[in-house]
Chain A
Amino acid sequence: LAKTTQPISMDSYEGQEVNITCSHNNIATNDYITWYQQFPSQGPRFIIQGYKTKVTNEVASLFIPADRKSSTLSLPRVSLSDTAVYYCLVGAQGGDKLIFGTGTRLQVFP
Chain B
Amino acid sequence: SQTIHQWPATLVQPVGSPLSLECTVEGTSNPNLYWYRQAAGRGLQLLFYSVGIGQISSEVPQNLSASRPQDRQFILSSKKLLLSDSGFYLCAWGVLRGQLTTDTQYFGPGTRLTVL
Whether chains A and B associate is yes
Chain A, residue nearest B42 (CB) = A102
Interface size of A as a range? 20 to 34
Q: Is B101 an interface residue (CB 8 A)?
A: yes
Q: How far is the CB of A93 from chain B (nearest CB, A)?
A: 6
> Which residues of A are found within 8 Å of B32, using beta-carbon distances?
95-96
Provide the bound-state CA to CA distance between A87 and B100, in Å. Answer: 21
Beta-carbon contact of A43 and B109 below 8 Å: yes
Beta-carbon contact of A43 and B51 below 8 Å: no
User: Which of A43, A49, A95, A99 makes the CB contact (< 8 A) with B96?
Assistant: A95
User: Which of B42, B90, B94, B100 makes the CB contact (< 8 A) with A51?
Assistant: B100
Q: How far is the CB of B1 from chain A (nearest CB, A)?
A: 14
Q: How many A-B residue pairs have CB under 8 A?
A: 72
Provide the bound-state CA to CA distance between A65 and B92, in Å. Answer: 30
Chain A, residue nearest B48 (CB) = A97
Beta-carbon contact of B107 and A32 below 8 Å: no
> Which residues of A are found within 8 Å of B29, using beta-carbon distances?
none
Q: Is B36 an interface residue (CB 8 A)?
A: yes
Give B40-73 as 1s and 0s: 1 = Cβ < 8 Å from A's Cβ atoms: 0011111001010000010100000000000000
Residues 15-57 (chain B) with a chain A CB within 8 angstroms: 32, 34, 36, 42-46, 49, 51, 57
Q: Which of B32, B103, B108, B109 gathers most chain A CB within 10 Å? A: B103
Beta-carbon contact of A41 and B43 below 8 Å: no
Q: What is A's interface to B at a CB cutoff of 8 Å?
A: 30-32, 34, 41-46, 49, 51, 87, 91-103
Known contacts A31-B101, A34-B102, A102-B42; is-contact A97 B49 (Cβ 8 Å): yes
User: Which of B57, B100, B105, B107 makes the CB contact (< 8 A) with A30?
Assistant: B100
Provide the bound-state CA to CA distance between A45 and B110, in Å. Answer: 12
Beta-carbon contact of A100 and B107 below 8 Å: no
Q: Is B88 an interface residue (CB 8 A)?
A: yes
> Which residues of B are found within 8 Å of A101, using beta-carbon distances?
43
